[in-house]
């Protein structure tokens, strides 16, 4: 059992156009964390919102010194906003939670209890996903299982970013500065003692999801490419299979032409073969291009984000 006497907890909340949710979330977080008796800070990270999110954060921060915020110069993405929160939080542990109230703040004491038991990471596993359509549930189910099969690290199934992390995990994550980020994958990669709890996810209180189908697809691509070399290995296999297929077709044509006396026009087969090989080539080039593009972004060495405004943080 770990003693948490005298220790503090940071609540990290990435925000993008969540003006209608900020105050209800803040009120619930203040109530829940006060009841735990553990000193805390709430650190909002405004990811370049275009609504009144920043105005509300400024007001709430001026009313309570435990409420702090960072505001980006533009939208850098949810994964980067989560990273900024981990960069600037000061607690002995940090809880990462979304601003849409689908992840109930009332679950946080359960995460803290597991932290007391000695675990360094306590992730919340979604047992029920109300308010989500069949397509969203099926795509999420497939995503986690495909990722688990392809990834070189064990990423827990059906878990989002909602989790508690000890400061030893936070310090390790600060060393990981890749630009194409997948935070829950990085948490799995750093290791340490990890466990999970199940919880019922609520429906979104207000607003709409910021993850379109295309954004989810790109996140899936980032997750797979960041934690697996399987796509590169598959490209080699595709190349070998295409070459073998072409050789077999060539042998079959020669046998039919020379030994069976069949009049086989060559242009149709040659054209089909060229299109087939061209398609394989483009597919393989796309896979290699994804890896090379990520290397190019990394060697540019640009900062992950830029801060235009903040309150209550050490810069």
Distance, CA of 128 to CA of 213 (rounded, Å): 21
Higher pLDDT, 118 or 146: 118
Q: 19-28, 69-78, 292-301: which has the minimum mean pLDDT? A: 292-301
pLDDT higher than 80, residue 225: no
- Mean pLDDT taken over the chain: 78
> What is the sign of the dihedral through the CA atoms of 110, 112, 116 and 122?
positive
Mean pLDDT on 41-65: 91
Distance, CA of 206 to CA of 193 (rounded, Å): 35
Q: Where are the chain's structural domains?
A: 9-210+303-311, 230-300
pLDDT higher than 80, residue 305: yes
56-108 confidence digits (pLDDT tens): 999 998 888 899 999 999 998 888 999 999 999 998 999 999 888 888 899 99
Closest alpha carbon to 63 in 21, 89, 33, 30: 30
pLDDT higher than 60, residue 129: no
Distance, CA of 220 to CA of 146 (rounded, Å): 10
Q: Label residues 46-71 b or e (16+ Cβ within 10 Å = b).
A: bbbbeeebbebbeebbeeeebbbbbb
- Tell the burial category of 226 from Cβ atoms under 10 Å away from its Cβ (0-12, 13-18, 19+): middle
The kind and range of the H/E element at 146 are helix 134-150
Residue 146's pLDDT is: 64
Residue 132 dihedral angles phi and psi, to the nearest 5°: -105, 135
Termini Cα distance of the chain: 35
The kind and range of the H/E element at 42 are strand 40-46
Instruction: Report the length, in residues, of the chain.
Output: 315
Residue 70's pLDDT is: 93
Q: What topology does CATH give the domain 9-210+303-311?
A: Spore Coat Polysaccharide Biosynthesis Protein SpsA; Chain A (3.90.550)
Higher pLDDT, 62 or 155: 62
Residue 184's pLDDT is: 82
Residue 118's pLDDT is: 87
Residue 208's pLDDT is: 55
% the chain with pLDDT above 90? 23
Residue 138's pLDDT is: 65
Residue 11 dihedral angles phi and psi, to the nearest 5°: -105, 115
pLDDT higher than 80, residue 291: no
Is residue 71 within 8 Å of residue 307, measured between CB atoms?
Answer: yes
Higher pLDDT, 257 or 29: 29
Q: 209: pLDDT confidence band, cut at 50, 70 and 90? A: low
Residue 163 dihedral angles phi and psi, to the nearest 5°: -170, 165
């Amino acid at each position: 059992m770990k003693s948490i006497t005298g220790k503090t907890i940071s609540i990290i909340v990435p925000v993008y156009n969540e003006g209608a949710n900020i105050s209800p979330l803040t009120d619930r977080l203040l109530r829940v964390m006060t009841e735990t008796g553990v000193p805390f800070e709430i650190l909002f990270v405004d990811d370049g919102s275009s609504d009144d999110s920043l105005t509300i954060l400024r007001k709430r921060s001026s009313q309570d010194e435990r409420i702090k915020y960072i505001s980006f110069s533009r939208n850098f993405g949810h994964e980067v906003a989560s990273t900024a929160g981990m960069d600037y939080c000061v607690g002995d542990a940090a809880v990462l939670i979304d601003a849409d109230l689908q992840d109930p703040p009332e679950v946080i004491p359960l995460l803290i209890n597991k932290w007391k038991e000695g675990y360094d990471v306590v992730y919340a596993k979604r047992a029920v996903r109300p308010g989500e359509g069949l397509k969203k549930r099926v795509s999420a189910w497939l995503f986690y299982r495909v990722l688990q099969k392809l990834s070189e690290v064990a990423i827990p199934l059906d878990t989002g970013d909602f989790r508690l992390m000890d400061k030893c995990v936070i310090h390790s994550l600060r060393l990981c500065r890749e630009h194409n980020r997948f935070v829950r994958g990085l948490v799995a990669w750093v290791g340490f003692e990890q466990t999970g709890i199940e919880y019922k996810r609520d429906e979104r209180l207000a607003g709409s999801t910021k993850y379109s189908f295309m954004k989810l697809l790109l996140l899936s691509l980032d997750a797979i490419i960041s934690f697996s070399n399987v796509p590169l290995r598959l490209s080699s296999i595709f190349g070998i299979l295409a070459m073998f297929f072409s050789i077999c077709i060539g042998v079959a044509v020669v046998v039919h032409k020379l030994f069976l006396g069949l009049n086989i026009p060559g242009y149709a087969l040659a054209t089909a073969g060229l299109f087939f090989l061209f398609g394989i080539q483009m597919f393989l080039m796309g896979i290699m291009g994804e890896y090379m593009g990520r290397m190019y972004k990394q060697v540019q060495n640009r900062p992950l984000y830029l801060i235009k405004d903040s309150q209550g943080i050490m810069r």
